[in-house]
Chain A
Amino acid sequence: MIKKDEQIDQDLRKFIKNLGYIAGGTALLATVPWLQSFTPEKLKEIRNEKTRIALIGTGSRGQYHIHNLLKIPHVEIVALCDNYSPNLKAASELCPKAKTYTDYKKMLESKEIDGVIISTPLNWHSPMVLDSLAADKHTFCEKAMALTMGECKAIYEAYQKTDKVLYFGMQRLFDEKYIKSLQMIHSGVIGDIVGMRCHWFRNNDWRRPVPAPHLERSINWRLYKASSAGLMTELATHQLEVSNWALKRIPDSVVGMGDIVFWKDGREVYDSVSLTYHYKNGVKTTYESLIANKFNGMGEQVLGNKGTMELAKGEYFFEYAKPAAGILQLINQVEQQIFDNIPVAGPSWVPEIATEHETNYVVEGKININSGLSMTGAYKDGSEELIASFCQAAITGEKAKNIVEECYCSTILCLMGNQAMDEQRKIDFPEEYKIPYLNF
Chain B
Amino acid sequence: MKDILITGKRQKKELIIFSICFLTAFIINIISIIVYGTQWKELWTYIGYVFSISIFFYVLLAIVRGIIKLILKNFKKEK
Contact = CB atoms under 8 A, between A and B. Distances in A.
Contacts of B55: none
Interface stretch (A325-333, A365-373, A412-420, A431-439): A325-333
Nearest to A330: B32
A323 B32 contact: no
A189 B13 CA distance: 55
Interface residues of A, number: 8
A328 B42 CA distance: 11
Contacts of B50: 327
Contacts of A329: 32, 36, 38
Contacts of A325: 32, 38, 42, 45-46, 49
Interface string B42-53: 100110011001
A330 to B, nearest CB: 4
B35 A327 contact: no
Contacts of B35: 326, 330
Interface in B6-20: none
B29 interface: yes
Interface string A329-361: 110000000000000000000000000000000
A329 B38 CA distance: 10
A328 B36 CA distance: 10
A327 B42 CA distance: 9
Nearest to B42: A325
Interface residues of B, number: 15
A334 to B, nearest CB: 11
B28 interface: yes
B64 to A, nearest CB: 19
Interface in A231-272: none
B36 to A, nearest CB: 4
Interface in A315-331: 323-330
Chain B CB within 10 Å, residue with most, of A325, A326, A328, A330: A326
Contacts of B29: 326-327
B48 to A, nearest CB: 10
The listed residue with most A CB atoms (<10 A of its CB), out of B36, B45, B49, B50, is B36
B28 to A, nearest CB: 7
B75 to A, nearest CB: 33
Interface string A136-180: 000000000000000000000000000000000000000000000
A332 B56 CA distance: 16
Nearest to B30: A326
A325 B34 CA distance: 11
A323 B33 CA distance: 11
B49 A328 contact: yes
Contacts of A324: 38
A325 B29 CA distance: 9
Contacts of B49: 325, 327-328
A329 B46 CA distance: 12
Contacts of A323: 36, 38
A187 B63 CA distance: 57
A327 B36 CA distance: 9
Contacts of B46: 325, 327-328
Contacts of A326: 29, 32-38, 42
A327 B34 CA distance: 10
Among A324, A325, A329, A330, chain B packs the most CB atoms within 10 A around the CB of A325
A327 B29 CA distance: 5
Contacts of B42: 325-327
A327 B24 CA distance: 13
24 contacts: A323-B38, A325-B32, A325-B38, A325-B42, A325-B45, A325-B46, A325-B49, A326-B29, A326-B32, A326-B33, A326-B34, A326-B38, A327-B28, A327-B29, A327-B32, A327-B33, A327-B46, A327-B53, A328-B49, A329-B32, A329-B38, A330-B28, A330-B32, A330-B35
List the 6 closest pairs (A to B, CB-CB), nearest first.
Answer: A326-B32, A326-B38, A326-B36, A326-B33, A330-B32, A327-B32
Given A327-B46, A329-B36, 16 more contacts: A323-B38, A325-B32, A325-B38, A325-B42, A325-B46, A326-B29, A326-B34, A326-B35, A326-B36, A326-B42, A327-B32, A327-B42, A327-B49, A329-B38, A330-B35, A330-B36
